[in-house]
C-alpha cells in the first residue's frame, strides 16, 4: 500500500516538473524570439536612416549642379570645347575659372590642360581677399590650355567629392592652390598669392 501511495505522489510530481520545464522553455523561446525581432527592427531602422541620409546628400549635390547649370544658361557661358559647364563660370574667357563640379573636373582632368584648384572656405578672410585676385588673373589669360576650379573646403557648402579631392592631394588648409597636369600634381601651395605670383606659376606650369 505504501508503494502505491508513493507511486500516486510520484506521478503528479513528474507531471508538474514536466509542465514547469515546458512553461520555462516557452518563456525562454518567446523571449529570444522577441529579442531577435527587436534586433531585426533596429537594424532595418538604421538601414532606412542611412539610406535617407545618402539620398539627402545626393539631392544636395543634384540641386547644386542644377542651380549652377541654370546660372550658366542665364549668363550664356560656354566652354571652349562646346556645350555648357555644369559649374558656374566665375572668371575667364579663354581659360575658365569654374565653381567646382565633379562632371567638369572629370572632363578637365582627362585632357592635357593645366588644372588649377583653389580650396576655398566661405568663412576664410584670406580666401575672400585672395580669390578676386585669382579671378583677375584668369580674366587676363589668353590661353585655352588652363582651366581653374574653386573647390569648397571645410565649410557648409563642401560635399563629399570635394572632401575626397582635398584628401587626395593632401590639402590641410583653406586657400591652398593645387596644380594638376596630365593627372599628376605638379604644385601645391598654401601661401597667399598676388597677381604676379599667379601669372608666374601658371606660365611656368604650362611649360612643364
Residue pair 118/151 in contact (Cβ under 8 Å)? The answer is yes
What is the predicted pLDDT for the residue at 5?
Answer: 45
Residue pair 174/124 in contact (Cβ under 8 Å)? The answer is yes
Domain ranges of the chain: 1-58, 77-206
> 20 or 180, which is more confident?
180
Note the pTM of the prediction, 2 decimals.
0.62
**Angle formed by the axes of helices 195-206 and 125-140, to 10°?**
60
Mean pLDDT, rounded, of the chain? 81
Percent of the chain residues past pLDDT 90, beyond the cut: 57
Residue pair 106/161 in contact (Cβ under 8 Å)? The answer is no
Average pLDDT of the residues in 104-127: 95
Smallest CA-to-CA distance from 98 within 112, 116, 76, 83 is with: 116
Topology of domain 77-206 in CATH is Glutaredoxin (3.40.30)
What is the predicted pLDDT for the residue at 58?
Answer: 65
Amino acid at each position: 500500500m505504501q508503494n502505491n501511495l508513493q507511486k500516486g505522489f510520484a506521478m503528479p510530481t513528474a507531471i508538474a516538473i514536466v509542465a514547469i520545464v515546458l512553461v520555462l522553455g516557452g518563456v525562454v523561446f518567446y523571449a529570444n524570439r522577441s529579442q531577435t525581432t527587436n534586433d531585426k527592427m533596429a537594424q532595418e531602422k538604421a538601414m532606412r536612416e542611412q539610406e535617407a541620409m545618402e539620398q539627402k546628400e545626393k539631392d544636395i549635390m543634384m540641386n547644386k549642379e542644377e542651380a549652377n547649370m541654370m546660372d550658366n544658361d542665364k549668363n550664356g557661358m560656354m566652354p571652349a570645347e562646346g556645350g555648357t559647364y555644369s559649374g558656374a563660370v566665375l572668371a575667364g574667357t579663354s581659360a575658365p575659372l569654374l565653381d567646382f563640379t565633379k562632371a567638369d573636373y572629370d572632363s578637365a582632368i582627362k585632357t592635357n590642360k593645366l588644372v588649377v584648384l583653389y580650396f576655398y572656405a566661405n568663412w576664410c578672410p584670406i580666401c575672400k581677399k585672395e580669390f578676386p585676385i585669382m579671378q583677375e588673373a584668369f580674366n587676363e589669360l589668353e590661353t585655352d590650355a588652363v582651366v581653374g576650379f574653386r573647390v569648397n573646403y571645410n565649410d557648409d557648402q563642401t560635399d563629399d567629392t570635394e572632401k575626397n579631392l582635398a584628401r587626395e592631394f593632401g590639402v590641410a588648409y583653406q586657400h591652398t592652390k593645387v596644380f594638376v597636369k596630365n593627372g599628376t600634381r605638379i604644385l601645391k601651395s598654401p601661401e597667399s598669392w598676388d597677381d604676379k605670383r599667379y601669372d608666374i606659376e601658371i606660365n611656368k606650369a604650362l611649360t612643364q
